[in-house]
Amino acid sequence: MRIIALAMLAAIAAPAFAQTEGPATLTLSEAFRRALEVNPSVGRARAEVGVAQAQKNFYLSAIMPKIGVSGRLTRNSDEVMFSGGEGEPERTILAENDWVYRVTLSQPLFAGNRERRAFQQAKIGIQNALEGVALTEEGILLRVAAAYLGVVQGDELINVERKNVEIAGRRRQQAQAFFDAGEVTKVETLRAESDVKAAERRLTRAVQLREGSASRLRLVLDSDESFVVASPSIGGETLPGEAALIDLARGHRSDLKQASNDLQIAKLEVSKQRGFALPTLTFDAALIEQKVSFPIDSYSQASINFSIPIFQSGEVAARVRGAKERETQAMLALDEAERRVVEDIRLAMLDLDSTEKALALAREQRAAAEAEYEQLFELYRAQEATSLDLQSSESSLADARRAEVVGALDRDLARLGVWYAAGMLKESVVTEVR
């Protein structure tokens, strides 16, 4: 039964299936493309651009002319006619069935530049929405990379744990041979059997971790498909220095651009609130048709209306003061965003340097552990080393192999994290990932 269970587990854990008809192979570049096309978060961010554009059109309509038609139908109890004298036609001054309609035109001429400031704010709002799309795409790409590399790591850890099961099985077979020959006690075989079970448990755990990463990848790709991932090659070209990356980040980080745009919006808001202290001027025109012919039944009119605020009990001053406080907040937010950019770059570069060193050490450790294990196994088979010595060597080799797999994932994520910190992950993945 144990052999059957192991065979089933190995079939589940295999990184690629042997069947000709199976899940398609998904590359990291394809995963990036699919995420940008179908991820709901990206779709919501892009829809926000449409909202911002509609807002701009709304503020534009405030300064455009407006034409309307209004009318009235009235039933009166009596009808009254008026005659100016002999030979003069009678005029209706009260119609039994009365009606009137008017076509009106209204054009704002000046309103303290408030509408223009609002329109400028709306245009900057569109830029902010576009930067929001870029920021969302950067975050989604990083999530895709983390989940995808997690699946790759899961496949490689499964292979590592399968090798560990084989190593533990070799010692169990050797211990059983020694026991059958009467050279060791039953404890030796039981210890080996326990280590085999522990290795199988870790294999099960590796399968679980792999499927967890696959689930997160399906979620970010908005897909229910099963897939096999291909191990990506993250570009190993030398990255720009810290100062160069900081300069790139200042020109590409979407959150920094949004903070700068928010400051412009806050400054415009101060000017807009000051406009409430200025006069307003509008032009109105109308064409009137009515049933009543007194004094005439059809005429037109035009007027220029103005309103000058004289005393508003400090309302405008309060509006301006509040807008200035918002401007101060926006300035502080921009300063904070600029400092965050610098620290994000520094931490990303530190992470990359640390992971590269850790990966190099893990590879050296794995090479040394493999050499140690081979020598100790030969010594154990010659009964010149104890099972405890071999058990310790197996554990060291397993840890070294796992560290190398995890180190490779951390290094790749750290490299992509540098580009993410610079706000250039979407631009860099085209050349970084192959």
Q: What CATH number did the domain enclosing 368 receive?
A: 1.20.1600.10
169 lies in some domain: yes
User: Is residue 5 situated within a structural domain?
Assistant: no
Residue 15 included in any domain: no
Confidence of residue 125 (pLDDT cuts 50, 70, 90): very high
Spatial separation of the C-alpha atoms in residues 362 and 366, rounded to whole Å: 6
| Domain assignment of residue 320, yes or no | yes
306-329 CB burial, b ≥16 within 10 A, e <16? eeeeeeeeeebeebbeebeebbee
210 occurs within a structural domain:
yes
Lowest mean pLDDT among 33-37, 289-293, 341-345: 289-293
Contact predicate 140/328, CB 8 Å? no
- SS3 labels along 128-192: HHHHHHHHHHHHHHHHHHHHHHHHHHHHHHHHHHHHHHHHHHHHHHHHHHHHHCCCCCHHHHHHH
Residue range(s) defining the domain that contains residue 379: 22-82+89-432
- pLDDT over 50 at 76, yes or no: yes
Q: How many CA atoms lie within 13 A of 322 on its CB side?
A: 8
Q: With 0-12 CB in 10 A as exposed, 13-18 as middle and 19+ as buried, what is 343?
A: exposed
pLDDT band at 87; cut points 50, 70, 90: low
pLDDT band per the 50, 70, 90 thresholds, residue 146: very high
Q: State the Cα–Cα distance between residues 206 and 160, nearest whole angstrom.
A: 9
Instruction: Provide CB contacts within 8 A for 171, sequence distance 6+.
Output: 192, 195, 377, 380, 387, 390, 391, 394
pLDDT at 2: 43
The residue-averaged pLDDT of 32-50 equals 94
Which residues, other chains included, contact 30 with Cβ-Cβ below 8 Å and sequence gap of 6+? none
Residue 40 CA to residue 34 CA, distance in Å, equals 11
- Paired sense of beta strands 280-290 and 97-111, if any: antiparallel
Higher pLDDT, 334 or 63: 334
Whether 375 has a pLDDT exceeding 80, the answer reads yes
* Whether pLDDT at 231 is above 70: yes
Q: What is the mean pLDDT of residues 163-168?
A: 92
Residue type, 118: A
**Residues written for the chain:** 434
Tokens 């530049």 map to which residue?
113
Nearest in space to 374 (alpha carbons), one of 385, 363, 362: 385
Stretch 323-336: mean pLDDT, rounded? 97
Assign 238 a pLDDT band (cuts: 50, 70, 90).
confident
- Report the pLDDT value the prediction gives residue 294, as an integer from 0 to 100: 73
What pLDDT is stored for residue 86 in this prediction? 67
Give me the pLDDT at residue 352, please: 94
pTM of the model: 0.81
- CB-CB contact of 255 with 134 (8 Å): no
Q: For the sheet containing 298-307, what is the strand order?
A: 66-75, 97-111, 280-290, 298-307
In whole numbers, what is the pLDDT of the chain averaged over residues? 89
Copy the structure tokens of residue 148: 């995808």
> Residue 178: what pLDDT?
87
Q: Is the pLDDT of residue 167 over 70?
A: yes
8 A C-beta contact, residue 360 and residue 411: no
CA 337 to CA 331: how far, in whole Å?
10
Measure the CA dihedral 314/319/323/325, to 10°. Answer: 50
Query: Is 208 contained in some domain?
Result: yes
Asked if residue 298 belongs to a domain, the reply is yes
| Confidence label for 258 from pLDDT (cuts 50, 70 and 90) | very high
Q: How many domains does the chain have?
A: 1
Average pLDDT over residues 125-138: 96
Interval 410-430: pLDDT, tens? 999 999 999 999 999 988 875
> Average of pLDDT values for 322-341?
96
Q: Is the pLDDT of residue 357 over 50?
A: yes
- Binned at pLDDT 50, 70 and 90, residue 431 comes out as low
Q: Which two tokens stand for residue 298?
A: 């059809």
Residue with tokens 């706000």: 423
Please give the pLDDT value at position 9: 41
Whether 93 has a pLDDT exceeding 80, the answer reads yes
Q: In this model, does residue 338 exceed pLDDT 80?
A: yes
- From residue 15, alpha-carbon distances to 27, 163, 166, 184 in Å are 14, 14, 17, 39
- At 71 the pLDDT is 94
Q: Is residue 8 part of a domain?
A: no
Across 225-242, average pLDDT: 82
